[in-house]
Amino acid sequence: MKKIFLLLFFTALLTSAFAQENSYKKGHAFGLSFFLNDFKTASDIRSMGIVSVFKEHNFFKTSRMNPGIAINYISGLSNYADFIATLGGSSVDYPIQNVAPFAKKNLLLETTASVNLKLLTDEYWVVPFIDLGVGTSKYKKYFAAFMPVGVGLQVNIQDAVYVLINSQYRIAVTENASYHFYHSIGVATNISKVKAAAAPVAVEIPAASQMQ
């Protein structure tokens, strides 16, 4: 739990640091994404090291991954920060520490709440971002908590429609959680218009001669 509180505190600080005027603040949006979960590579890195994984050419090998579908809700917090909630499902043989392998695939549900810290505003065609958050999962009768940490790109296709490409490392927090990589690509569109910032109201100050 200490990891979760530290991550939330760090995320809040970064979000405050990026807070700006609302000129390019994203509205409410919904999206659909396709993703790949990779448990094998994460396990190999922890047991053999990342150098060995690269030597074996096992990084980003789709044959080691499990596909899934997710729905996303996105809302702008500021010019440089978006909130994103995701619910995804995939069919996997989920590895749980101290639990015998299931030997068959079952439904893994994962939900996350993250903040995308953007390096540019939505004014630009391509917007790189860093994402930090918290997440929970359910596999059969087992519940778990994890922390997603990753990087990504937002590609603006046209006004209020954009593609999100994301790659995360999901860090296990509770005993039933399993370290894994999560790679996704999806499309989202705004469902509400961004409200323009109200223009400042000019206040006329009477001249000194009028006050006499």
For residue 48, the model assigns a pLDDT of: 86
For residue 34, the model assigns a pLDDT of: 98
For residue 58, the model assigns a pLDDT of: 74
For residue 165, the model assigns a pLDDT of: 97
Residue range of the domain that includes 192: 2-211
How many CA atoms lie within 13 Å of 197's alpha carbon, on the beta-carbon side? 11
Low-confidence ranges of the chain (pLDDT < 70): 1-22, 193-212
Classify residue 58 as exposed, middle or buried by CB count within 10 Å of its CB (0-12, 13-18, 19+): middle
Please provide residue 113's backbone torsions phi and psi, each rounded to the nearest 5 degrees. Answer: -130, 115
Total of domains in the chain: 1
Structure tokens belonging to residue 120: 């540019």
For residue 15, the model assigns a pLDDT of: 47
The CATH number of whichever domain residue 149 belongs to comes to 2.40.160.20
For residue 75, the model assigns a pLDDT of: 95
Which one-letter amino acid corresponds to residue 109? L
